[in-house]
Amino acid sequence: MAILLASRFGAHDLAVWRDALQGVLPEETLLTEPVAGRAHEIDIALAANPPAGALRGLPALRLVQSLWAGVEGLLADRSLPADVPLARMVDPAMNAAMAETAAWAVLSLHRGFFDYAAQQREARWQTHRQRRADEVCVGVLGLGEMGRTVALRLVRDGYRVMGWSTRAAPVAGVHTGAGEAALNALLSAAEIVINLLPLTPATRGFFDARRLAQLRPGAALVNLARGAHVVDEALLAALDAGQIGHAVLDAFEHEPLPAAHPYWSHPKVTLLPHVAAQTDPRSAAQVVAGNVRALRAGRPLAHLVDRSRGY
């Protein structure tokens, strides 16, 4: 049998991944495309955000292992067989990277560092009142692998943290809740809201004009999940009106973000090119190996996606 690495990787990344995977799975045959005559050998596909249709014509497929944490792209791909288990990437190293990005965004907002950077561009010397972390309430939407790690990091850094998820997962030191009332309580209390929800039919367009109006006036939005969670026109209007004080955006509905998009030059937007938590081949290959060996040995697979929930 063989493993297909289905990706959009260029030659360099492909070589890095091939080395990392072959290093932990030396006994496996790794193909980087379903070469003619060998498609019937492929029983595992590793999917790194591949182009739609990449999983078509693989009759022996028994596992699709995403190399990304978010799987909405794969779930929308009609070449993903309905009866083949789909596992997503869950890697503590990736969660830690996300926590670093969130900590940077929260600290920069809390201490006004984005404002000071803007002042520097104007050669303007002006100080603002310094606040303690425990004066700042941060809300984290989504308390899964990423959200929980982020919330715990922020608690450790001294912030007051509220969290929201479908099942109100308890997180030490975090005031957690579920449902509309808990969401309203979080949105009206937090001065920084971090989005770490998965993109599903229930969360697409989550930050529309109505929801942005529920945030505290002047609150900051930190979107580290998916661009389609945010209605861009609504966020731009809320920024211009002062309802949202600053937005830190790492993900966009269309990536790369088009050069003409107003986010690029908006003074209240800090942009990252979808790098909040990149999959690290060194640790992710170990996660992949765990599931490959489980499949080969007939043991339960880890991190399976619940397709009815969409994550």
CB of 296 vs ligand GLV, minimal distance in Å: 25
Applying CB under 6 A, the residues found at the interface with ligand NAP are 69-70, 142-147, 165-167, 169, 196-200, 202-203, 224-226, 250-251, 274, 276-277, 311
Active-site option among 274, 282, 293, 296:
274
Give kind and range of the element (H or E) at residue 192. strand 192-195
Q: Are 266 and 241 in contact (CB under 8 A)?
A: no
Residue range at the interface with ligand GLV (CB under 6 A); choices 7-15, 34-42, 62-70, 260-268: 62-70
**d(C-alpha 248, C-alpha 107), whole Å:** 12
- Is 69 a residue that touches ligand GLV (CB under 6 A)? yes
Tell me the per-residue interface mask from 86 to 105 with ligand GLV, x by CB under 6 A, - otherwise: ---x----------------
Residue 18: both structure tokens together: 């091939």
CB of 66 vs ligand NAP, minimal distance in Å: 10
Closest to ligand GLV by CB, 87 or 219: 87
Query: Does residue 88 carry a catalytic annotation?
Result: no
**d(C-alpha 143, C-alpha 250), whole Å:** 18
Closest to ligand NAP by CB, 224 or 292: 224
Active-site option among 216, 226, 229, 246:
226
Closest to ligand NAP by CB, 226 or 246: 226
Closest to ligand GLV by CB, 203 or 279: 279
What are the φ and ψ backbone dihedral angles of 147, each rounded to 5 degrees? -60, -40
- Is 222 a residue that touches ligand GLV (CB under 6 A)? no
Q: Are 20 and 43 in contact (CB under 8 A)?
A: no
**d(C-alpha 60, C-alpha 3), whole Å:** 11
Among 95, 165, 243, 279, binds ligand GLV (CB under 6 A): 279
Closest to ligand GLV by CB, 86 or 219: 86
**d(C-alpha 203, C-alpha 167), whole Å:** 15
Determine if the peptide bond prior to 281 is cis (ω within 30°). Answer: no
Q: Are 208 and 232 in contact (CB under 8 A)?
A: no
**Closest to 162 (Cα-Cα) out of 229, 203, 218, 216:** 216
CB of 147 vs ligand GLV, minimal distance in Å: 13
Query: Does residue 226 carry a catalytic annotation?
Result: yes
CB of 68 vs ligand GLV, minimal distance in Å: 3
- Helix/strand/coil (H/E/C) assignment for every residue in 216-251: CCCEEEEECCCHHHECHHHHHHHHHHCCEEEEEECC
List active site positions: 226, 274
Interface ranges with ligand GLV (CB under 6 A): 68-70, 89, 279
